[in-house]
Amino acid sequence: MKKIFVYIIALISSTITLAQQENTPTVSGKVLNAATDQKLENVNIVNLSQVVGTITNDNGDFTIQAKVNDTLYFSYIGYKPIRVRVTNDWIKFGDVKIEMTELGIALEEVVVADVQLTGYLEIDAKRIPVYNNYRYSISGLNSGYEGGSKQPGAVNKVLGAIFNPADFLYNIFSKRATELRKLRKMKKDDQIRSLLENKFDRETLMALLQIERLDIDEILRNCNYSVDFIKFANDLQILDAISECYEEYKILDRK
C-alpha cells in the first residue's frame, strides 16, 4: 500500500513539473556581429536567473526559457560578453537581434622549453617535468584535498585546510543562498556543463555565481587546491571543485 502511495505521489510530482516546464515562457532571437551583421554560430547563452543554457545555430538563431526580468548572458570567443534583460515586449512580440562587439586580441608571447632527451630511459625520465600534486581522501567526505608536494607535512596541511576554509566559505556563501542553488542547478544542466568544459576564463562562472575572479581563486586556495589546478583547470572542473568543497564543509559543519 505504501509503495502504491509513493508511486502516486511521484507521478503527481512529475506531472506538475512537466506542466510547469511546458508553461515556462521562452524568448527567441538572432546573434550578429555588431560591425558586419555576420550571423554568429555557437554563441553561448545562459539564463543567469534560471540557470539554463543554449547555443545559437548556424543561422545565429536561439531559443531559451526565460521570463520577464531574467538576465541572459551571451559569450563568444573573441567577442565582448554582454548581458541582456528580458522585457515584456520581447516575450510579446518575439525575435530580437542581439549584436556582439568583436575584441582585438593580443596574444602573449609563448616560450616553449624543449626537453633534451639522451635516449637513456633512466636519465630522460628525470628530465620530464611532472606535477607533484597529490590528492588525499578522508573517510566520510565526498572526495579529498590536494596537499601539494609529497612531503612529511602534507597530511597535516590537508587536515588544517579542511577546517580553516569553513569561516571563509561561510562568509562567501552564507548570505548567497540564491548562488548556492545556482551551483547545484549548474551541475545538473548538460548545456551549461558542456559550455564550462570548454572555457578557461572564469567569465561565465563569475556571472552565474555573482563573485569576482579573485574570490574564486581564494575559495580554491582555502580548499587547498594546488596552484596548478587553479591556473589550468577548465571552468567545469572549477565548478565541481567549489561544489565539492562546499558539500564537504557542510558535512563538517553539521558534525
Quote the pLDDT of residue 140: 45
Q: Flag the least confident range among 16-30, 143-157, 176-190.
A: 143-157
Q: What does pTM read for this prediction?
A: 0.65
d(CA 77, CA 72): 17
Which of these, 15, 76, 87, 18, lies nearest to 45 by C-alpha position? 76
Dump pLDDT digits (tens) for 230-254: 999 999 999 988 888 777 766 665 6
Quote the pLDDT of residue 114: 54
Contact 65, 97 (CB under 8 A): no
> 230 to each of 201, 219, 224, 243, how far by Cα in Å?
11, 10, 10, 14
Listed in sequence order, the residues at least 6 apart from 11 whose beta carbon sits closer than 8 Å to its beta carbon are: none
Quote the pLDDT of residue 79: 94
Strands across the sheet containing 61-65: 61-65, 26-33, 96-100
Give residue 196's identity as a one-letter amino acid code. L
**Between vectors from CA 33 to CA 108 and to CA 82, what angle results, nearest 5°?**
75
Quote the pLDDT of residue 151: 46
- 223 compared with 50, residue with greater pLDDT: 50
Is the Cα dihedral 91, 92, 97, 103 positive or negative?
A: negative
The average pLDDT across 173-186 equals: 70
Three cell numbers, residue 53: 543554457
Is the Cα dihedral 239, 241, 245, 250 positive or negative?
A: positive
Element (H, E) at 30: strand 26-33
Q: Which of 64-68, 116-120, 153-157, 175-179 has the highest mean pLDDT?
A: 64-68
Domains present along the chain, CATH in parentheses: 2-100 (2.60.40.1120), 121-254 (no CATH)
Provide, rounded to the nearest whole percent, the portion of the chain with pLDDT above 90: 31
Contact 241, 174 (CB under 8 A): no
- 81 compared with 15, residue with greater pLDDT: 81
d(CA 221, CA 146): 10
